[in-house]
Amino acid sequence: MEGEAAEVVVDAEEAAELEPIYSALADRGAPRRRGNIGCSGSKKSEFCYLCNYVDTPDASGTLLKDHILTLVDQGKELHFIAKAVQAIYDNELREFSVWEKEGGKTIVEKPEWKTSSIVRHLLMSSEFEVIFEAYQSQVFKSMIVRQAERVVDMDSGSVDEGAAKALMTTMRNFDEHKSRMRLLGNKRRRVDTKQDLG
Ligand SMILES: [Zn+2]
């Protein structure tokens, strides 16, 4: 009995059990509670038009992608783009879409493409890196605004050094992030120009 009791204490002292943030290995042993945050196409329970129709000769997937990139160029936010994509899908593509669920065991005609699934594809699929970059900028901006809201001591009116330091760190990191993005943008433009000339 003493041994058992000691074991319980050891377990309690152990750090929380951690799971992969993005697992590259097949599931072995203990089941994970959360899967990878990838596109819904990787989730058997959800339909994703872009994942399902990406390799078909149908041009609608390509046209949809072009439209998404145009909205990104216009500086539209993630949820605005997702809603626009969903409207196009519902109005023009859903009627002709078929989802072969579970490797074709179940056929779903005119499947629903949920906003959350669209957002996941836009954010996590490597074909829309620019959307993820815009998301990173939004995270930085939100962080800066939130941090700036809590800097001054309400009683004394003096600046809280710790809070100010944290705010300045986020601002500096955001500036570095923007510089990197500018360099990357220039690089992309150079590649595009070369391709246009070639
Ligand atoms: Zn997808």
Provide the mean pLDDT of the chain: 83
CA of 67 to the centre of ligand 1 (A): 16
Q: Model pTM greater than 0.85?
A: no
Is a pLDDT exceeding 80 seen at residue 193? no
Residues 74-87 have pLDDT tens digits of 989 899 999 999 99
Residue 47: count other Cβ atoms within 10 Å of its Cβ.
20
CA of 10 to the centre of ligand 1 (A): 43
Residue 64 CB partners (closer than 8 Å, separation 6+): 49, 50, 85, 88, 89, 93
Write out the two tokens for 184.
């990357």
pLDDT of amino acid 115:
94
Total residues belonging to the chain: 198
CA of 81 to the centre of ligand 1 (A): 15
Q: Which range is least confidently modeled, 68-72, 73-77, 102-106?
A: 102-106
DSSP 79-104: HHHHHHHHHHIIIIIGGG-EEEEGGG
pLDDT of amino acid 105:
85
CA of 113 to the centre of ligand 1 (A): 10
pLDDT of amino acid 189:
76
User: Residue 156: which pLDDT band, with cuts at 50, 70 and 90?
Assistant: very high
CA of 48 to the centre of ligand 1 (A): 5
User: Residue 184: which pLDDT band, with cuts at 50, 70 and 90?
Assistant: confident
Residues 119-148 have pLDDT tens digits of 999 998 888 888 998 899 999 999 999 999
How large is the average pLDDT for residues 33-60?
Answer: 71
**159 or 101: which leads in pLDDT:** 159
CA of 62 to the centre of ligand 1 (A): 14
CA of 4 to the centre of ligand 1 (A): 48
Is a pLDDT exceeding 60 seen at residue 56? no
Is a pLDDT exceeding 80 seen at residue 47? yes
Q: What pairing do the DSSP bridges indicate for beta strands 98-101 and 106-109?
A: antiparallel
